[in-house]
Amino acid sequence: MTSPTDFPAPTDDPADPLPLPPTAPEAADCCGEGCVRCVYDVYEEALERYEVALAAWRVRHP
């Protein structure tokens, strides 16, 4: 899991902005019925995509 101190400082390059992390779902967003694609599953997938995008951004902005 990432913490606020893990995020790099944004750059002033509007052509290559810092990726933004996904918003975590609220507890009330989950119905608790064991859905095949729960909002927490969707969030975890988005978080994985964000981490890949952030790693690529860090390579471009050492």
Tokens of 32: 């608790």
Tell the burial category of 60 from Cβ atoms under 10 Å away from its Cβ (0-12, 13-18, 19+).
Answer: exposed
Q: Give the pLDDT score at 50.
A: 98
Tell me what pLDDT residue 10 has: 57
Give me the pLDDT at residue 13, please: 77
Cα(55)–Cα(50) distance, rounded to whole angstroms?
A: 8
pLDDT at residue 18, rounded to an integer: 93
- The model's pLDDT over 21-46, given as tens digits with 9 standing for 90+, comes to 999 999 999 999 999 999 999 999 99
> How far is Cα 57 from Cα 60, in angstroms, rounded to an integer?
5
Sequence-distant (≥ 6) Cβ neighbours of residue 53 within 8 angstroms? 19
